Amino acid sequence: MSVNLTAEMKNALDAALDDGCPVICSSVESDGYPTMSFYGSAHVHDLETIGIWVRDPEAGFLKRIKLHNKVTLLYRNSKQKQIWLFQGQAHIAESDEDQSRIYLESHPGEQERDPDRLGKAVRVRVDRVTSYGKVLMER
């Protein structure tokens, strides 16, 4: 089995903010405790990657993934009966092209909140996707 994010997942994540279902991301603090944040910018970047635009370049999330890059993203839309846990490894996007593409792929409302593109793009290479406790795909 391999990771191949679907069109259904792409469409759901693209509409997540408008549907009132922003993605929740869990990452690990330096003391080992997990913390969670909402990311309305989370979207399917390619078949194996979720992109996130982090508006604050000093955000704790960016610091946490440098220490512990394993993250879990939760998408839940109860009206559509869709729930996915995306587990993977997060890294700040290196290239200017990736930074720009992830920003432009993000929800327009997120772009409006950072019109000067002061934030940072993050790539989450997805290792496993589960739904209702069942593994749908994994590396």
| SS3 (DSSP) at 78 | coil
Q: What is the CATH number of domain 7-133?
A: 2.30.110.10
Residue-wise pLDDT for 90-136, tens only, equals: 999 999 999 999 999 999 999 999 999 999 999 999 999 999 999 99
Query: Does residue 1 have a pLDDT over 90?
Result: no
The rounded distance, in Å, linking the Cα atoms of 25 and 8 is 20
pLDDT number for residue 83: 97
pLDDT number for residue 85: 98
pLDDT number for residue 63: 96
Residues in the chain: 139
The rounded distance, in Å, linking the Cα atoms of 128 and 137 is 6
Backbone angles phi, psi at 123, to 5 degrees: -105, 130
